[in-house]
Amino acid sequence: MSDPQNVSDYFMMHHAHAPADQRGGAVRAAVACGHGSLITPETADAHSRPASHLYELDLFSVTATGCTFDACVENWFRVAARVLDCDAGAIA
């Protein structure tokens, strides 16, 4: 990817190959800026959705789950690399 066309391209370009702790921080910051949502087992409640033991991340219209926050972030990047770049080519 040579030239990011939107926020999701920019996000992937800068964080796709970052260490896990930096990816987690970037995901939390993107969610805080309003680009998505993160539901953790601690934040899920009976009024908003069924309780779950999984972390669920929806960022830039790409959704992934995981048993831990780090696993969820890793799964999100794996899915997003395929979904967000299907028209632009590989991220490598």
For 25-42, how does the pLDDT look when each residue is reduced to its tens digit (9 = 90+)?
999 999 999 999 999 888
In angstroms, what CA-CA distances link 83 with 56, 64, 68, 76?
A: 17, 12, 22, 10
User: Across residues 52-79, what is the average pLDDT?
Assistant: 93
Q: pTM (2 decimals)?
A: 0.78
**Contact, 20 vs 28, CB < 8 A?**
no
Cβ neighbours for 86, distance < 8 A, ≥ 6 positions apart: none
